[in-house]
Structure 1
Amino acid sequence: MLEIGRLPSQRAAMALTDYLKSQGISTHIEHAAQGVIIYVLNERDAAQAKREFNNFIHNPMDGKYLQASWEVGDSKTQLDYGAPGLQLLSQLITGAGPVTLITLMACVAIYIVMLFVPETIFNALSFFGASSDSHWQIWRLFTPSLLHFSLLHIAFNMLWWWYLGGRIENALGSGRLLLLLIVAGTLPNMVQFFFSGPDFGGLSGVVYGLIGYSWVMSQWAPQRGLVLQPSLMGFMLLSLVLGFSGAMGDNIANSAHLAGLLAGLLQGWLDSRRKS
């Protein structure tokens, strides 16, 4: 067998391998720590398979992949995780990595505790100046990103964090996502404080960073296996514009969102130029 590439999810891998099967190319997939590895069984098919792999990551929504799945797809290849609850749990875990899951669980745990002792948690994790005992506590540059103030707030951020962070971590590794989390979870907080003061929180600056990063990598280095549909970038940009216009209310950390997006774009550009 010869590896032709890796994709971030089993669903994407099956779409490609069904198409390769329709072209007479036999494949095998294996789950790895970072995504799904695709192999061709016959090395003489490797060159064609690699071309098709590159075509797929540039345009994964091409109708020919869906058509191939209808024609040659085999439902028996789907993994059996047992009961529906276990299936959901397995999808949650396999769609992400340790950094994604630990951050998600930390945000949820902090939100739950904050329901009972809101002032204690806010005073402990908010930005400099939001509480009287915050001086010289360096973690406050980052920890406001872990604070959420409503169910809708945390649900929106955790959904995007799991989806985008999981794809980045599966495709590029935990170290890359951790760096993005630290940078896009710190610099936007500093910018937001400069423009609006210390009373803010949420992971949305990081989410905008992940969007920017994913879009640049998708455009400039699609061979890394990180694909982002342009419509998602358009949706987030529209949300950003609406936020600055005031249409989404006054309690929106618009400066953090913009700073997070710019940080993600910059990090994506730097990583897209790396050889590995």
Structure 2
Amino acid sequence: MKLLLVLDDPRRAQSFVDYLADMGLKCELTLDDDNNVSIWLVNEVRYQQAQQEVKRFIAEPLHPRYQDASWRQGDTHAHFSTDANRPGLARDLLRQTGPVNMLVLLACVAIYGLSQLGLPMFGLLAFPSDWSQLLGAEFWRAFTPALLHFSLMHLVFNLFWWWYLGGMVERRLGHGKLLLLLLVAGVLPNLMQFWASGPRFGGLSGVVYALLAYVWLSGRLNPARGIGLPDGMAVFMVVWLVLGFAGVLGPVANLAHLGGGLIGLLQAWFDRGRRAY
């Protein structure tokens, strides 16, 4: 047997397996302690065909074709849970995250809250006004601008994508991978943005761009790792970037976004042959 894909939703995994069964691609499921489902192809000769279907599934996981296959296969009770068995919203949200993901999320919320109370968080955490200050005791300020947000909308938008994408990476690939992406995509784009516009910038969007690019390209290059995004998200990422450089979105950290996206693409390319955590 050969591993095709790992998902954290047993019902969706079963629907995909039912769809493959309709095509004559027999698969088996295994469930680990974290409720992650591994999908294994029994007939390895048809692996390339199955891989094409995996890419199609990752691009459109909610397409009706998969649920229709479940109904045709029968035993639909295996694919749906009752309201009584469904976890609460708070528990479900926590299940989608990890310690690195949650720590950064809480730090951003706390810093924004303290700044709204009048504390000088920008002065403490912003990029220094001179490169030389990073070579001394304040080296950490190369990263901390990523934790600063200047409006509630700015905070909510970035933290949603951080929670969603960062949680996906941490659950499937481990704490170390998310921490690596966070630090590299936090520091290098900040250096680029400072070079372009000076020290008055902030936000987690450079890291978010890195995660978007990383998750999307990883899903294309290695679907078995269990992460991926529809191609439409990649289009959204590029369009948003172009609008930013065109000045349509107002003052935004365009080079931080560009740098983050490039870092995500490069890291996904380097990781293309690796398996999930």
TM-score, length basis structure 2: 0.82
Partner in structure 2 of residue 155 of structure 1: 156
Residues 198-213 of structure 1 correspond to what in structure 2 (within 5 A)? 198-213=199-214
Q: Which amino acid aligns with 2:149?
A: H
Which stretch shifts more, 67-76 or 209-218? 67-76
1:95 to partner: Cα distance: 1.8
The separation in 1 between residues aligned to 2:179 and 2:45, in whole angstroms, is 32
SS in 2 for 1:136: coil
Consecutive unaligned residues of structure 1, counting only runs of 5 or more, are: none
Change (3 A) 1:83 1:106: farther
Trace 1:1-276 onto structure 2 (pairs within 5 A): 4=3, 6-10=5-9, 12-19=12-19, 27-33=28-34, 36-38=36-38, 46-47=42-43, 51=47, 54-60=51-57, 61=60, 63-71=64-72, 72=74, 74-75=76-77, 78=80, 87-119=88-120, 121-129=121-129, 136-250=137-251, 252-274=252-274
Distance in structure 2 (CA, Å) of the matches to 1:24 and 1:248: 47
AA matched with 1:58: K
Cα distance per residue 1:128-165 (max 9 Å; x no partner): 129xx986311101111011111110111111111111
State the alpha-carbon separation in 2 of the partners of residues 82 and 138 from structure 1: 51
- Aligned CA distance change for structure 1 residues 29 and 204 (closer, same or farther; 3 Å): same
RMSD, aligned CA: 3.1
Query: d(CA) in 2 for partners of 1:264 and 1:55?
Result: 23
Moved more, 233-242 or 13-22: 13-22
Contact 1:168/1:226 (8 A) holds in 2: yes
Check whether the contact 1:81–1:90 (CA below 8 A) recurs between aligned residues.
no
> How many pairs were matched up?
265
- TM-score normalised by the chain length of structure 1: 0.82
- SS of aligned partner of 1:93: helix
Query: Residues of 2 paired with 1:241 and 1:32: CA distance?
Result: 43
**1:3–1:37 Cα contact (<8 Å) kept:** no
Structure 2 residues not aligned, in runs of 5+: none
